[in-house]
Structure 1
Amino acid sequence: MKLIPQSLKVYKQKSIFVKTLFFFNLFILIAILTFGYVSYTQSSSLLVEEVVKSNNKYIEQARDNIDKTLRSLDELSFQISLQSQIGRALYLSDETWDRDQLLFLDMIKYLKNVKLSNNLISDIWLQFYRYPVVVNYESKYNKDYYYSTIYKTEQKSEWNSSLSSHQGFASLGRFKISSYGVSSSNITFMRTVPLSELKPTGALYLTINTDSFSEMVQRISDPYPAFVYTVDANGKVLFNSRIRSEQDELINTVKEAITGEVRKIDQQEGYLNTTIDGRSYQVVFTSSNINDWKYISIVPTAFITEKANKIGQFTFIAALICLAGGLVMSYFLTNRIYRPINKIISYISLFTRKHTDRPEHLKEDELGFIDRIINYVYYENQSLRDSFEKNLPALQQKFLYDLIEGRVSSVNFEGLAEELQMEFKYDAFQIIVFETVDFSLEDRISPYYHNILELIDGMAGAADGSGEAHMTVKSIRKRNDKIISLLNLDHSSPKPEIIHDFIRQVTSYFEREHGRTFTVGIGNVHRLAEEVPLSYVEALSALQYKIVKGEGSVIFVDEVGKTPERSFIYSIETEKHIINCVKTGNMQALRQHLLLIWGDNLKVGDFTPEIISNLFQALTGTAIRTIYEVQSTAGEIFGDSFDLYKEVNACARLQDKKEFIERIFSSISQWIQQKKQGQNTSLFNQIQEYVEHNYHLDLSLTILGENIGLSPSYLSSIFKETTGMNFVDYINTRRVDQAKIMLRQTNETVVEISDKVGFTNSNTFIRVFKRHEGITPGQFRQMRMTEEG
C-alpha cells in the first residue's frame, strides 16, 4: 500500500502515468454511472419501439398471407363463373330449368371437386335469380328450403336476395350458421354471374371458417405476446388469434374500445398508445390491399416494461462489476506496469545523457522524454531511410538479377523479398524472355516516354478477364535487346490461358501502338527459387529456335527442347505439308498426313499425357501459323472470343482432340477456299464483261490477258475452274447464241451473220453451230420459219 502515497507524491511532480491512471478511474466511474442511467431510462422506450416494429412486421405478414388467399379465392370464383355447365344453367328459364337434370348433376360434381381441392372452403353454392334453385356441392335445393333448413344464419340478413347489378368478389361479413346440424362461424364471400351479361342472373357464394383465418394469424403471432384480430369497414370483428392466457382474455374484452380508437385515426396503417380501464396498450394496425379489412395487433405495455425492469437490474449489476474490475485494473497497471516502464526510462536516460542535449531547467514527464528520444532517433536515421528509398528500385532490380542467375536460395528468398518490398504471393515461377526485332531498348519507341518495364508489368493484371489475380510479373532488362519477365504463378490453380493472354497483350500492344516486334521465348514452370535460373535457360533455348519459327514468333521450350523419352514426331516438313494442304483445300492429303502423325505419336501404350498435350499444342500452333500466312486472324475465322489453345485443352478425350484438330484445319481450309472463290468470281465477272463487249472480234487468251493484265495460263485455269469449259468453247457458245438471235430476227445471209458474230469464215461458223445445236444455221432458220408459219 506504499504505492498510493508514492503515486500521489509523483503526481504532484511530473508523472504522466499517475495522472493518466487517476483520470482513467474517474472516467470509468462517470461512464458506468452514465451508461447505467441511460440504459435504465431508455430500455423501456427501445423495447416498446422494437415490439411495435416487430408487431407491424407480423401483422403485415398476416395481411399479405390472407390477401394472397383472398386473391386465389377471387381467381377461383372467376374460373367457376366461366364453366360451360354453369353458364348454361344460368340461362335456363322458369319453364326449362327442371328438364335438364344431367346438367345440374355435372354442376354438383364440379362444385364438389372444387371444395375437395381447396381445404379452406367450408361451403360453396350457386344461387339462380331466374328460378328458385340453389345448387351446392352435395345437391340441388329449393331456395327457401336451403336458407331455412340447410344453411341457417343466426343473424337476419338480406345478402341472399337477387341483385340488379354486378358485384365482384366481395366479403359479406361474419355469420354464425347452422349447416346440416353443425354450428360454425364463417365468413361469406359472393360474386355475381355471369360476367357476360349486363345484369346478373345468379350469384356464387363461398364460405371460409373463421378458424382457418385465425390459424393464419396465429402462425404469425405465436412467438410474440401479441393479440391480433381483424375488423371490417364497419368495425365488426371478423376473426382473431387464439386466446392463450388471461392476458389475451383481458384484451379480448377491450378490443371493441380499441377498434373505436383506431377508427378515429382514419388512416390505412399506423400506431397508437392508448389507455383503457387504467391499462396501457401498444396498438399497431394496417389495412388490407384488396378489401376493406383492417388488421390490429395489441400488446400490453406492462409486459414490455417488465422486461425493461429486468434489463435495468442487470445493467446495475454489470455496472458494479465493471467498476470493481476497473479499480483492480488500475491498481494492476500502477503496480505491475508503471514500475518496469520507469526502470526502462531510467536506463534510456543514462544511455542518452551523453548523446542528447537538454536544458537543465526544462522539466519533462515520461511522455515528453520518450518523444524527445524518438525525435532524436528519427532525425539521426532519416538520411539512411532516404538513401534506402532512393536506391530501392535499383536494389529490387539487383535482387531479380541475382534470382535468375542463381545467387538466391529458397532459405533467404522470402526474407530478402520482404525487405525489398517485393511481394511474391504464389508458389511457382516461370521466365519469359522478350527479344527485340530490328530495334534496341535504348530507342525511343514513341514521341512520349514510357517505361517499358512498367508497361509490361502492368499488363499482367489485365490478362485475367475474371478479375481475380492468379499471376504477378516483375521485369528487368538484359543488355539492349532482351526483357526478362519473372512470372509468379498460382501452382494450385493453374491457368495457362492467362500466360497466353499476357504474351498476346504485350506483343500486340507494341506492334499496334509503336510498330515494334518481339520474339518471345518461354521456359517451363518451376516451384523453387533455385529453379528460376533453369526456367531462364529454357527460355533462352527456345529463343534459339527463332531461325526455324521466324522472328516475331512465340516459342515455348516444350516445342523445341523435348528430351528423347518425352519427344514427339512432328517435323517441319510435315508441318509445311499440312499448311499447304489446308491452303489448297486438299483435305484428303491433309487427313493422310494427320493419320501418319497419329500413327507415329499415338501408338497404344507408347505415349504420355505430356506427348499428347505438346503434340496438340504444336498442331494448334500450326493452325495459327496457317492463318497468319494467309494474312488473316483467328478472330476473323472463328470469332474474337474463340481461343484455339484453350479449346484444344478443354477436350478431355484423345478422340475429341483429334476431331477438334481436323475440324479447325477444315474450317480454315473452307474459309481460304471461299475467299479464293470470291476472288475468282470477281475476276470471272470482269472477264465475262470484256467478252460480252468484244465477242465479235478476234479474241484469244493472249489478247484477253493483255487487256486484263493476267497471264493466259492463269486465265485458262480460272475459266476451267469457274465454267467447266475452255476459253474457246466459251467464246463460241456466246457467238452461237448471238447467231441464233440474228437467224430468227433478220434476213441476213449465213455468211454475213458469221462475219458479224466473229467467225473467220462461214465454214467454221457452220461447223461450230452444228456441233452446238445439232443442225446447220440454214436448217435452224428453216425450222423456225416453219414453226412461225
Structure 2
Amino acid sequence: MRLIPQSLKVYKQKSIFVKMLFLFNLFILIAILSFGYVSYTQSSSMLVEEVVKSNNKYIEQARDNIDATLASVDNLSFQISLQSQVRRALYLSETTWDLDQLLFLDVIKYLKNVKLSNTLISDIWIQFYRYPIVINHESKYNIDYYYEHIYETEPSVDWHAASQSHYGLKPVGRFETLSYGIGSSAVTFARTVPLSEINPMGVLYLNIKTDDFSSMVQRVSDPYPAFIYTVDASGEVLFNSKVRSDQDELINAVKGPITGKVKQIGAKEGYLTEIIDGTSYQIVFTSSKINDWKYISIVPTAFITEKANKIRQFTLAVAMLCLAGGLVMSYFLTNRIYRPINKIVSYIGLIGRKDEQAPGPSKEDELGFIDRIINYVYYENQSLRDSFEKNLPALRQKFVYDLIEGRVASEKLQELTVQIQLELRCDSFQVVVFETVGFTLDDKIGPYPHDVLETIDRLAAESVAEAPMAVYSIRKRNDKIISLLNLDYGSPKPEMIVDFIRKVQAYFEREHARTFTVGIGNLYRTAEEVPLSYVEALSALRYKVVKGDGSVIFVDEVNKPSERSLIYSIDTEKQLINGVKTGNLDALRQHLLAIWGENLKEGDFTPEMIANLFQALVGTAIRTIYEVQSTTEAIFGASFDLYKELNKHTRLQDKQSFIESTFRTISEWIQQKKQGQSAKLFGQIQSYVENNYHLDLSLATLGEQIGLSPSYLSSIFKDITGMNFVDYINTRRVEQAKTLLRQTNDTVADISDRVGFTNANTFIRVFKRYEGITPGQYRQATGEDSR
C-alpha cells in the first residue's frame, strides 16, 4: 500500500524527468489495455479477413499456374498447326488423300513425339474435314470407327460437326473418356487448323486429365483448409482439389448451391459469406484471364472462429501479465532511474555554469538547464564553429541538389544562402548537364587521383572570374555532373557559357582523352523554375543519338517540331522482305542504304523519329520471320527479343549496323533451310516433268502429284527451280524439240505435237522466244554445222 503515496511524493518533486517517466508509463499501460481489448473483441473478424486474403492469394496462384499451363498448351497447338507434314496432310484432296501413306505415318510419329514430350497431354488427335479420317498418336482411323470403338465419351458429343470459322484453343468440356479401353476423366480442348486458309480444313483436339489440374490446385491449397474447384461458363464443375477429410466431403456436397450464388453475383472476382444447411462458409472466387473458367475457394467459418477463441484466451493472459509488469516497471523507473540522472545534472552544473548573472527564469528544471548549457557551448565553443565550416561544402551541394529537384521556395532562397554562406550574385538560373562518354565518374582517368567535380569547379572559377556569373556543380549518379549557373537575366551572355563548356571539354580531351556530351536548359528567374531547366538539359541530351557523342546541345535547337516523319513505303518493305527471302544480300544492302539516304540525310529529325524508324524495321524483320513460318527463337536463340536488343544500341551507327546484321542473319537462316527442302521438291518436280512434258501440264496436276496445293506450289516454284512454271515446262519442251530437229526428219508440226504444244504456231513462237531463231532456221543451222 506504500507504492501509491511514495509515487505521488516523487511526482510532486521539481524533476521534469520524474514527471515524464510517470506519463510515459501511464501511456504504456493504457496502450497495453487498449490493444488487449481490441485483440480480444476483434480477433475473430480480423482472422476471417486474413484467411480470406490468404485464400484469395492462393486461388489467384492456382489460377495463374493453370493459365500458364493452358497458354503453353495453346502455343503447342499453334506449333502443331504450323508443322509441315500436318499442313500437307490437311491440303490433300478427296481423291488423293489415301495415296500418300508415308505422309500420314510422319504425322502419327510427330503427334506421338508431342504426346511423349508433354506429360500433361493424355490424348491428341486431328480430325480432317476434306475426308473422313482421324489421326492420333497411334494410328489413322475412319472417323466413325474411331469415335465408336477407339475413343468414347460420356456425355456423348457430335464430333462430326465441322466449324465454318476459325477459333484458337478453347475448352470443349469435361468428359469421362474410354480410350483404347482405358477410362479416365479429362478436359478436352480444340483448335481449328490451318490458320493460313479462310475456312478451317480440320480440327486439333487435346485432352488433359482432370487429375493433373487437381494436382495443380492441390499444391496451393495444402497449407490451408481450403477446398478449391473450377467451373466453366455453364456452371459445370471441371475439377477440384482432392477430398482430404470429412470436412472436404461436406464442402464437396454443397458445390452446386455455392456455384449458383457465384453465378448470380455475375462478377469476375469477389468474396461472400454463405450459410447452407446451417453451416457458414467463407467463399472467394476469381476468373481465368484466358478463358471463361471460374476458380472458387471455400473455407468453413467454424474453422476460423475456433482459432480466434484460442487467440482471445492467449491475448487476455498476455494483457494481464503486461499490466502487472508495467506497474512494477513504473515504480522501478520513477524511484531508481532518477538518481543517476540527478547526479549527471549536478555534475554539469558544477563544470558548466560559468555566468551566474545570466538572465533566465528564476525556477529552472533539468531540461531548461541543459538547453541553456547547449546554447552556451554552441555560441562560445570554437570547435563547433570549425565543424560547421568543415561541413559547408556538403551543405552547399545539398542546397544545389534541392534546388534542381524543386525543394527550395523563392521566399526561403535568401535565408538559406546566408546560412550556408553561398553567394548568388545574379537573379536567374540555368542548368548545364555534363554526361560522360565511355567512362564513369568512379573511373581512374589518369596516373594520379583526380576528382572530376573539383576539376570542373576549378575550370568554372577560371572562366567566370571577371564575369557576372557563378557556377556550382554537383554529381548525379556516376555518369552526370550538373552545373547550376547563376546569371544576370538582362545580359546572360551565352558566349560565356559556351566558353566555359569548351574549356571543360578541351581540358579532359587533352589531359585524359575523355569527353562529355553536354545538354543545356533555358534560363529562368525563380527557384521554382530551376527544375524546368534541369529537365530541359536532360531532354537535350537525348538528342545525342542525332548530334553524336561529345556534342554541345542547347534545348532550343532541338525542341523545334519536325514537319516530316521517318518512314519507308510498303513497296520498299516488300523489296526488303523479298531480298531477305531470296538471299540477295547486295539488293538488301542497297534497299537499306536507300532508306538511310531518304530518311537520315537531313538533320531535322528527333530521337522519337529515329526510334520509330528502327522499330518499324524490326517489325519488318519479324514479319519476314512469320512469313517463312519461323520464330525469333528458332533463328536467334531462346529469350531473344529484337526490340530489347535494338534499345541496347544508343548511337545511330550502332542501330544501323544492328538492323543490317539482323536482316543478314534471317536471310542466311532462310537459305540454309531452303537448301534442304528445295532439293527434295526439285527432284520430284524434275522427275515428273521429265516423264510428262509432252502432256497438257498445269500447276494443279503437278501439285496433285507431289501433294501440294496449286497456290502454295505457285508461290515457291520459282524459289525452287529458278524460273516460273510456264518457263520451266517450255524450256524442257524446247530442249527436247532441239534434239528431234537435229536427229529426225519429222516436220515442225509433228515435233510440236510430240513435245506437248497445242499447235505449230505456238511452238514456233515459243521456240524463237527462247532460242532467238525459228525451228526451221535451227534445223538448217545444225545441218550445216554437221556437214
TM-score (norm 2): 0.49
TM-score (norm 1): 0.49
Higher radius of gyration, 1 or 2? 1
Structure with more relative contact order (C-alpha pairs < 8 Å, separation 6 or more): 2
